[in-house]
Amino acid sequence: MYLLELAGEDDAFARREAAAVATDVQRLAPGLATARGIGARTRGLAYTHRASEYVGRTDPDVASARALLEAAVIERSGTVAVRARDVRGLSAVDTQAAERELGAVLVDRGFAVDLDDPDHELRAVFSTDACALGWLAFESVRDFGDRQPTDRPFFQPGSMDPLLARALANIAGAGPETTILDPMCGTGGGLIEAGLVGADVLGVDAQSKMVRGAAENLGHCLTAARSPEGLPEPGSWHTLRGDATALPLPDDAVDGVVFDAPYGRQSKIANQPLEDLVAGALAEACRVAPRAVVVGDRAWDDAAREAGWRVTDRFERRVHRSLTRHVLVLARADG
């Protein structure tokens, strides 16, 4: 079992993203979860900071953490560092005192302390109603600030931030040996994040300007740049001009679909009613993929069900006072 240290404020959303690369993800405490089946793909998660081999759980105070460690079976040796964290300041624990106390236990067990390059790192994470201990196994690659939409060769206002785009790509199933489609790809931000975790990506857009711009951005981020440390080599990418309601793809052509539906009441493409555009795109997505993630300024539940989808999860992501993004996670109703 593994201890997950979650990022952000929406633990349910973070757990859902983690479930894309792990099994049996369960809430432990605010900011914390447990999971099984963890592997290197954890490094590509947006809303999980770290995964550690789980030692145990106790009350959120230093004395209880020390007692838990003293009772634990430790089958490792070498040098060690202890890192304590107070999740969101919820426990008010003295993390330096925790590090000293737990470090002393490990020294008594034969470890030597090395704060710079230890063989092992013990994580002591305190939350409102629990302290959890674990041996660090994986850390996520936190390079999202290097890919801000305004820093790409092609930029348009309203582009999604890389952190959320990565999470959506992961939930859609992005990873090595998968193909992810965005039928309304815009500037390609979602496809960039899917490609950076190893997926082959395909972008479709009705506007030639967006197809060219997305291709420029994908080439810049997936071809010209080196793969971030700890992540697989980026997947291949292709873009083409097309209609999201009539995709030039055979049935079951891709593994997952993710798209950010237009906001407002009317599509700018051919003056098409937005409801018709999204309904058609959802129907086509259901034809070409077994799962999808759809984002919009409203929840498209009814349209998704009519298109043949089952809504497995829904989330609200507040952007600012006048915009909340609604996220639907979809699976084929007959799947």
Instruction: Compute the average pLDDT of residues 303-313.
Output: 98
Instruction: Compute the average pLDDT of residues 13-40.
Output: 97
Of 139, 170, 186, the residue at which a domain comes to its end is 139
Using the Cα atoms of residue 297, residue 298, residue 303 and residue 307 in order, give the sign of their dihedral: positive
**Chain segment 98-157, per-residue pLDDT in tens:** 999 999 999 999 999 999 999 999 999 999 999 999 999 999 999 998 889 999 999 998
Instruction: Compute the average pLDDT of residues 234-261.
Output: 97
| pLDDT for the residue 230 | 76
Dist. CA 3–CA 121, nearest whole Å: 13
Q: What is the CATH number of the domain that holds 208?
A: 3.40.50.150
Structure token pair of residue 45: 């998660």
Contact 248, 242 (CB under 8 A): yes
Instruction: Check pLDDT > 80 for residue 264.
Output: no
Closest by CA to 180, choosing from 211, 196, 201, 203, is 201
Secondary structure element (H or E) that encloses residue 285, with its range: helix 274-288
Instruction: Check pLDDT > 80 for residue 299.
Output: yes
27 and 132 belong to one structural domain: yes
Instruction: Check pLDDT > 70 for residue 273.
Output: yes
208 and 277 belong to one structural domain: yes
**Chain segment 229-239, per-residue pLDDT in tens:** 778 999 999 99
72 and 180 belong to one structural domain: no
Dist. CA 7–CA 26, nearest whole Å: 15
| pLDDT for the residue 65 | 98
Looking at the structure of the chain, the number of domains it has is 2
Mean pLDDT of the chain: 94
Of 117, 139, 161, the residue at which a domain comes to its end is 139
DSSP 41: G
Instruction: Check pLDDT > 70 for residue 269.
Output: no
211 and 265 belong to one structural domain: yes
Instruction: Check pLDDT > 60 for residue 246.
Output: yes
Instruction: Check pLDDT > 70 for residue 294.
Output: yes
86 and 204 belong to one structural domain: no
Structural domain boundaries, residue 156 = 144-332
Q: Is 102 exposed, middle or buried (0-12, 13-18, 19+ CB in 10 A)?
A: buried
Of 108, 139, 170, the residue at which a domain comes to its end is 139
115 and 149 belong to one structural domain: no
Instruction: Check pLDDT > 70 for residue 265.
Output: no
165 and 135 belong to one structural domain: no
**Unique residue bearing structure tokens 């592997």:** 39
SS3 327: strand
Dist. CA 199–CA 32, nearest whole Å: 28
Dist. CA 234–CA 275, nearest whole Å: 34
pTM for the whole structure: 0.95
**Beta-carbon-side half-sphere exposure of residue 22 (alpha carbons within 13 Å):** 29
Dist. CA 214–CA 179, nearest whole Å: 17
301 and 158 belong to one structural domain: yes
Report in angstroms the alpha-carbon separations of 286 from 143, 186, 210, 246, 335: 33, 20, 24, 12, 11
53 and 103 belong to one structural domain: yes
In this predicted model, which residue has the larger pLDDT, 259 or 334?
A: 259
Three-point CA angle 50, 51, 55, nearest 5°: 125
149 and 296 belong to one structural domain: yes
**Chain segment 150-160, per-residue pLDDT in tens:** 999 999 988 89
69 and 163 belong to one structural domain: no
User: Looking at 54-58, 85-89, 144-148, which range is the least confident one?
Assistant: 144-148
CA 256 vs. chain centroid, Å, equals 15
User: Looking at 2-6, 185-189, 247-251, 267-271, which range is the least confident one?
Assistant: 267-271
Instruction: Compute the average pLDDT of residues 165-183.
Output: 98
Q: What is the CATH number of the domain that holds 44?
A: 3.30.2130.30
Structure token pair of residue 246: 């009539």
Quick one: what percent of the chain has pLDDT higher than 70?
Answer: 98
133 and 192 belong to one structural domain: no
